[in-house]
Chain A
Amino acid sequence: MRQTTPQQDLLRGLWRENPVLIQMLGLCPALAVTNNVENSLAMGLATFFVLCGSSLLVSLCKRWIPGEIRISVYILIIATFVTVADLCLAALLPDIHKALGAFIALIVVNCMILGRQEAFASRRPVGRALLDAVGTGAGFTLALVMLGGTREVLGSGSFLNVPLFGPSYEPWVVMILPPGGFLTLGVLLLGLAWWEERRRERVKAGGVPAGADMEPSPALGMSLSERASSRGDAA
């Protein structure tokens, strides 16, 4: 197992190993509910809560979870927190709860959450597990808001329901429909891959500036085994 510092645990999930943009996990909610910023933010925060709670509990209980049935136990723990999130949203923000619909309940089967339990929380101390959950959850929320923001600006001409372009804006209807989710995610990944390639070329060109991190790049630098372990066996 790689030795990591607490800072790495926290920051890794935010960008360099972003669950949606780099690891391609949890794509169902990322495509399904990101038609505007509000829904994306709610979905991201709900997932954030579930991830932190389950990582904490799994890490606390790791000694007493038998290896043979660990996946079922993880799912039970995750489902508990999902139910809490579901009921809270229904009570506090009924409109958003209605808009997200079944996708709240489907957080249970979000492979990103299960992956973090299997790959990280079940093997690390509580503090580290929580840091990792916070970073990964924030990264997930960030990715969802990027997707939702792009789709809302183009598809409705607004951001967080605030009109940006005035009344005569012609909305791109396709962007708030399912194809818009695929298109936006594709373009985002394309941009990231292009940026990563540029960065590598710069590093290869020899002009590595002092202080630039020499870690392997997140997108393509992880070895296959590392990728598999960070995805979790069950995901």
Chain B
Amino acid sequence: MSEPALGVSASPHVKGGDSTPTIMWSVVASLVPVVASAIYFFGPSAALLLAASCAGALATEMCFGQRGTRRLCDGSAAITGLLLGLTLPPGLPLWMAFLGGAFGIGFGKLVYGGLGQNVFNPALLGRAFLQAAFPVAITTWPVRAESWWSLRGDNFALPLMSPATQDAFSGATPLGLMKFEQTATSSWDLVLGTTAGSLGETSGLVILVCGLYLAVRRHLEWRIPASIFCTVALLAGGLHLLDAARYPGPVFTLFSGGLMLGAVYMATDMVTSPVTHRGCWIFGAGIGLLVIVIRLWGGLSEGVMYAILLMNALVPFINRATQPRVFGAIEAEGGS
């Protein structure tokens, strides 16, 4: 019995070194600067909130996830927890963050069958649940605290209890100021992130750099954020030219709110984004269009979350519509 001269094996024949855990952990690593800037801007509140939402996500994954797999080590629940935490306002009670993480993993991922099966981005689903359940708490934005060490709100409210009211301290995000008071924030503040907002909503520049790192390592589909940025910049620019007093310019639109975080980290979730290149461009354009529509003509000041969730629902159709032609295949005649 000698080795056959011609090896026969099933495809794929060329494999990369990446696996789910390596990709996931590299995304977590790329989030470190974003987390650091959130802590820099919002102090201990940011660290506590991120820890609480991660704890919620990891605990749910551990209790209800599939048994017998290295489920906690693949890093996907940690990413969900971190991303959810980054979408929360710094003054939110910790129990709400925990609940959001648990809901995101439980109802955003596990009920669909676990990693790779979910339709919607789990972190955004957790955030959408919190938005629907606690609409007041999640839109309360504290202004900068007197010292870095002080909490930015009633983080330690007892479970199920509402946070102490802080009307005197609640500030407004640049988007809220623009929408409801027609006050613009300076572009430089927006790019650096020294504005009020959610933990990850502020430091656009840092997120962009981290996204570039991921794109270079090919762990991120660069076409999706590129498509979102192009659509948003074109639409915002066009509208700004039409009526500069009413519609903010492209720089403001790109760097305000959660657009950077959403475009770079949420829309590019490998599970819930299209698989074809053409599909990615369509997906990103749809998100950009919805963001502009919701921000300018909707009732909310920020629309990135709903834009991404809505486009997530369309991903199967985008995938089907953009199937590439198989090499050598001939179009069926008559189109039957």
**A residues adjacent to B (C-beta < 8 A):** 157, 165, 168-170, 172-175, 177, 179, 183, 186, 190
Contact = CB atoms under 8 A, between A and B. Distances in A.
Interface of B: 93, 107, 111, 129, 132-135, 137, 157, 160-163
Contact of A175 (B93, B133, B157, B161): B133
B160 A169 contact: yes
12 contacts: A165-B160, A165-B161, A168-B162, A169-B161, A170-B93, A170-B134, A170-B137, A170-B163, A173-B132, A173-B134, A174-B129, A190-B111
A177 B132 contact: yes
Contacts of B162: 168-170
B114 to A, nearest CB: 15
Give me the 5 closest cross-chain CB pairs, A-B, nearest first.
Answer: A170-B162, A174-B132, A174-B133, A172-B133, A168-B161
With a 10 A CB-CB cut-off, give which of B107, B129, B132, B162 has the most chain A CB atoms.
B132
A80 B179 CA distance: 54
A52 to B, nearest CB: 37
B279 to A, nearest CB: 29
With a 10 A CB-CB cut-off, give which of A172, A177, A186, A190 has the most chain B CB atoms.
A172
A41 B137 CA distance: 32
B132 A170 contact: no
A234 to B, nearest CB: 32
B118 to A, nearest CB: 15
A28 to B, nearest CB: 22
Nearest to B132: A174
B101 to A, nearest CB: 16
Contacts of A173: 132-135
A188 to B, nearest CB: 14
A125 B293 CA distance: 63
A172 B161 contact: no
Nearest to B99: A172
Contacts of B161: 165, 168-170
Contacts of A170: 93, 134, 137, 157, 160-163
With a 10 A CB-CB cut-off, give which of B111, B135, B160 has the most chain A CB atoms.
B160
Contacts of A190: 111
Given A173-B133, A183-B107, 4 more contacts: A165-B161, A170-B93, A170-B137, A170-B162
Nearest to A179: B132
Contacts of A157: 160
Contacts of A172: 133-134
Contacts of A183: 107
Contacts of B129: 174
Contacts of A179: 132
Contacts of B133: 172-175
Contacts of B163: 170
Contacts of B157: 170
A183 B99 CA distance: 15
Nearest to B107: A183
B325 to A, nearest CB: 40
A140 B16 CA distance: 56
A172 B161 CA distance: 11
A151 to B, nearest CB: 12
A190 B163 CA distance: 32
A173 B135 CA distance: 8
A84 B162 CA distance: 44
B166 to A, nearest CB: 14
A179 B132 CA distance: 9
